[in-house]
Structure 1
């Protein structure tokens, strides 16, 4: 049965929403695709404004949305393109700080409701950190509603001046792409062999090679794993500005670490690992952590941001920046199969408590309905 179009509060049908993405990290882009698919299935017209490469990667048009190319920059041309795309929109929903700032500029002088989702914090140091705080203040004060993916982000939005900040239900979409292999154990062995982890523990990390990811601390911990029998192999999937610096350390110190660049098979890599490592100084609702728990892979993570709220007691948590604590937690788990099995079971149970895609779409749609409902006459 075809979906019934959701009526617009202004007499047009169906309700028209515009989703705004910047460059879009994997978490926010995947969320927008899921949201677009769910909203379109409920009869809502969805336009996704994002760079063309984002549509190529996440196929917003395939999810039932119209895609409009809007460059990542905030120059007048990009803002004008976004402003044109938002003409006659009943509501605009921006994801991430920079996309939200562009939306604020594009909607200047209009009364279109603006919903902003903070999926994560923007990272900056020095003078740029001050600029980020100014952008955050401008965005949250202009937004009708700010949705934060973690309690800490909601609190930050309120402290920054948000009129209305709420906790967002954000689902990790179910696995797509290739079907489950007929022989998962054989496939897992093949992946491990390709990574060079046959007969040795495989420790997996996924994320951009940037300072806030904590990879320098991970390399500090890896020093203690040299010469163990068998020697664990740390594999890091991701790309970024620290690539050369990290690679030089790995080679100079003879560390059992491989940098394999950006990969589109991260789910398979995680499923093949003995442990997953999340070492950043801040995490909101880590997709990597969710994938690890879903895949029954024990997780060692830094006790920061939204991670404790996300994983509960289904992971080993260590202080950020403490290489010794990270090293000890990994060695304890590698030496304790029973604890690993317990964490695997807890991970599956914890994942079952996370919101579903339907729950996520329904919550967002309830916010849309609230903000576009006609004001009753006195």
Structure 2
């Protein structure tokens, strides 16, 4: 996987030009039209339009990893996504792309514009082709645009649900309503956790399964733990590491609460752990201000390309999210053989198995789990061994491709009236 904060590829500079970008319907150099043969692959089964809303994290990275694999399975990919998302994940270099501005949050006028723009892209697709929308917002806009296409030539719709609706009140009700509409309207639903699969089925999804979302391959560390410590100036203090986008879902306030409890515990000053935060995001200034006001031992590292080095140096890796599906940062920690503590939310336990200490979303429980591991080197060694064993069982890119290709075939058959 990319080593930029463990969450986001670097993308291009604002205003930069992506290599190889073309409008959907064009042909990339060396590409083939339907009915031909992809290089090294099988005959083209159809075209697939991957649709994204605004994305700054795992969704964009997942699509970027999937795009180069699809031609080998017989599907010729195209992409429709906001221009900023196209640039950040360098998607036009991977497939013909067009900018369709689908905002992250509902907006009637912006959504109407997005539906119109996507409808024009759909003109180049037919009943044997597929639209693959990633996320509820992209799924909603794609479903609305597809309903304007005559049934006899309407492509199939696959939707991958990447996130749960966490908002409360009217906003949460709207989100859950849209989620249900999308689940019912899709030909196939893939969801990144078992709880999302169950919700989709309860909403009326005709074909729902747990998605396979593998983390891209990571590189080995380039520096020793001692070199990392020397560079950071942390001395011999225990090191905690979290790799996360600094956004509400990631539960960083909870982690700071737990760190405060660890600092308040009796013991010598050198036993107080230092928290390394690798990642950036909209809450950074707020979180930094709080940590400074409470004199918490935190190093805000920003987006990093040396996550492998940090994982090797950390005594304990912590995930404090309020919800996750198949978090790439957790998968990366397992591959690194890290001693991992994580909140038991969404699909986290499905990813870790017995290779992590899972705790409720509670600062006291989180602090107690971290404290227990820091005090028990053998427990950390045992967890590291379990992590490496579990990492060997995680889904591969080949398995994820096979699942997606099968979902496309089922969706296309339904549109043709075969199945």
TM-score greater than 0.5 by the shorter chain: yes
Match of 1:198 in 2: 235
Secondary structure at 1:269's aligned position in 2? Answer: helix
Q: How much has 1:375 moved relative to structure 2?
A: 4.2
Native 8 Å contact 1:115 1:144 kept in 2: yes
Q: Which runs of 4+ in 1 moved over 4 A?
A: 374-377
Secondary structure at 1:128's aligned position in 2? Answer: helix
User: Which is further off, 361-370 or 247-256?
Assistant: 247-256
Does 1:18 find its partner at 2:57?
A: no
Native 8 Å contact 1:5 1:44 kept in 2: no
Q: How much has 1:145 moved relative to structure 2?
A: 1.0
Task: Output the CA distance in 2 between the equivalents of 1:310 and 1:123.
Answer: 21
Q: How much has 1:285 moved relative to structure 2?
A: 0.9
Q: 1:109 to 1:283 in 2, by over 3 A?
A: same
Match of 2:403 in 1: 363
Q: 1:235 aligns with which of 252, 276, 282?
A: 276
Secondary structure at 2:346's aligned position in 1? Answer: coil
Task: Output the CA distance in 2 between the equivalents of 1:265 and 1:67.
Answer: 30
Q: 1:28 aligns with which of 45, 56, 59?
A: 59
Secondary structure at 1:171's aligned position in 2? Answer: coil
Match of 2:295 in 1: 254
Q: 2:320 aligns with which of 279, 302, 322?
A: 279
Q: Deviations over 1:20-43 (max 9, x none)?
A: 111224222122122211102334
Q: 1:252 to 1:285 in 2, by over 3 A?
A: same
Match of 1:67 in 2: 97
Q: Deviations over 1:192-241 (max 9, x none)?
A: 33433232221111223333322222222212333642321112233344
Equivalent positions of 1:329-340 (< 5 A) are: 329-340=369-380
Task: Output the CA distance in 2 between the equivalents of 1:223 and 1:4.
Answer: 55
Q: How much has 1:352 moved relative to structure 2?
A: 1.2
Match of 2:333 in 1: 292
Equivalent positions of 1:1-378 (< 5 A) are: 2-8=39-45, 15-63=46-94, 65-73=95-103, 74-89=110-125, 90-110=129-149, 111-175=154-218, 180=220, 184-185=223-224, 188-226=225-263, 228-321=269-362, 323-373=363-413, 374-375=416-417
User: Which is further off, 52-61 or 146-155?
Assistant: 52-61
Higher relative contact order (CA 8 A, sep 6+): 2
Match of 1:12 in 2: none
Q: How much has 1:52 moved relative to structure 2?
A: 2.6
Superposed CA RMSD = 2.3
Native 8 Å contact 1:209 1:242 kept in 2: yes
Native 8 Å contact 1:23 1:72 kept in 2: yes
Task: Output the CA distance in 1 between the equivalents of 2:120 and 2:312.
Answer: 44
Q: Which ranges of structure 2 fall in alignment gaps of 5 or more residues?
A: 1-37, 104-109
Native 8 Å contact 1:225 1:256 kept in 2: no
Native 8 Å contact 1:61 1:67 kept in 2: yes
Native 8 Å contact 2:73 2:401 kept in 1: no
Task: Output the CA distance in 2 between the equivalents of 1:163 and 1:104.
Answer: 15
User: Which is further off, 200-209 or 349-358?
Assistant: 200-209
Match of 2:27 in 1: none
Q: 1:212 to 1:56 in 2, by over 3 A?
A: closer
> TM-score w.r.t. structure 2 length?
0.80
Task: Output the CA distance in 2 between the equivalents of 1:228 and 1:309.
Answer: 37
Secondary structure at 1:75's aligned position in 2? Answer: helix
> TM-score w.r.t. structure 1 length?
0.88
User: Which is further off, 135-144 or 250-259?
Assistant: 250-259
Native 8 Å contact 2:229 2:235 kept in 1: yes
Secondary structure at 2:159's aligned position in 1? Answer: strand
Q: Which ranges of structure 1 fall in alignment gaps of 5 or more residues?
A: 9-14
Secondary structure at 2:271's aligned position in 1? Answer: coil
Q: 1:7 to 1:161 in 2, by over 3 A?
A: same
Match of 1:11 in 2: none
Q: Deviations over 1:64-108 (max 9, x none)?
A: x11211113343332222222222331100001111111112212
Secondary structure at 1:173's aligned position in 2? Answer: coil
Task: Output the CA distance in 2 between the equivalents of 1:236 and 1:164.
Answer: 39
Number of equivalences: 363
